[in-house]
Amino acid sequence: MKKIAVLLSGSGVFDGSEIHEAVLTLLSLTHAGAEYQCFAPDIEQLHVVNHLTGEVAVGEQRNVLVEAARIARGEIKATTELEIEQFDGLVIPGGFGAAKNLCNFAITGSECNIAPSVSEFIQAFVDGKKPVGFICIAPVMIPRLYHSGAKGTIGNDSETAHAFNLMGGEHQEASVEDIVVDETNRLVSTPAYMLAENITQAHIGIEKLVKKVLSLAD
């Protein structure tokens, strides 16, 4: 049975992991007969957003690992606890946390950097030639992790696609139900809620991505 790591970035679309995307990832992995282990960096969030009003909660701070534990029902590990030989691949759901906590793309765009503990975690899979799936906005990290020309998609947002290309990636437009596969680099991406209008649309692309990651792990 394959075992896949799932990297979370908090809990909640505006300041952490997109919860629908995270749960659909876990569901798709289970339906496909794979095991999973959730991980998150033990770092502070960029900020906390009130998901009812959409406003930043001034003076409030939360920890990414502690918040991500909500989605994982407490069954989660810090990224520093990774034992790479135990895993066949990695999937990274989106949500603004991927662009605020895992990296700082939301703030600096094409000048972004990946948080050190996150970079080390993902790079272990890249260096080990293990497949990685990037969902929603998470693909903006691809050019920082792979050699120039790595292929990926965030859907069809021209500004984000331009930033992806400026960083050295090769962006490919895709519809909500599509996946983009870079066979050479063993990576897969799908737009999910970058384009999805409902949970069913998001599920289609995420399920395809999970199945492809598992097939690349063969």
Res 15 pLDDT > 90: yes
Q: Measure the CA angle with vertex 6, ends 123 and 168; round to 5°.
A: 40
In a domain, residue 181? The reply is no
In a domain, residue 203? The reply is yes
- Helix 19-31 vs helix 199-216: angle between axes, to the nearest 10 degrees? 50
Q: What is the pLDDT of residue 115?
A: 97
Res 131 pLDDT > 90: yes
Residues acting as catalytic residues: 136
The number of domains in the chain is 1
Res 46 pLDDT > 90: no
**What CATH number is associated with residue 121?**
3.40.50.880
In a domain, residue 72? The reply is yes
Q: Among the listed ranges 38-47, 50-59, 75-84, 192-201, which one has the minimum average pLDDT value?
A: 50-59
In a domain, residue 160? The reply is no
In a domain, residue 52? The reply is yes
Residue 13: domain span? 3-135+198-216
68-79 burial, b at 16+ Cβ within 10 Å, e below that, comes to bbbbbeeebbbb
Res 76 pLDDT > 90: yes
In a domain, residue 179? The reply is no
CB 8 within 8 A of CB 40: yes
Query: In the numeric block, which tokens belong to residue 52?
Result: 């009812």
Q: Residue 9's pLDDT band (boundaries 50, 70, 90)?
A: very high
Alpha-carbon distance of 153 to 118, in angstroms, equals 20
In a domain, residue 75? The reply is yes
Question: Under DSSP, is residue 118 helix (H, G, I), strand (E, B) or coil?
Answer: helix
Q: Measure the CA angle with vertex 9, ends 115 and 60; round to 5°.
A: 90
Query: In the numeric block, which tokens belong to residue 88?
Result: 């066949």
Question: Under DSSP, is residue 28 helix (H, G, I), strand (E, B) or coil?
Answer: helix
Res 114 pLDDT > 90: yes
Res 109 pLDDT > 90: yes
Res 218 pLDDT > 90: no
CB 6 within 8 A of CB 187: no
Mean pLDDT (whole number) for 45-55:
92
In a domain, residue 212? The reply is yes
Mean pLDDT (whole number) for 196-205:
97
Res 94 pLDDT > 90: yes
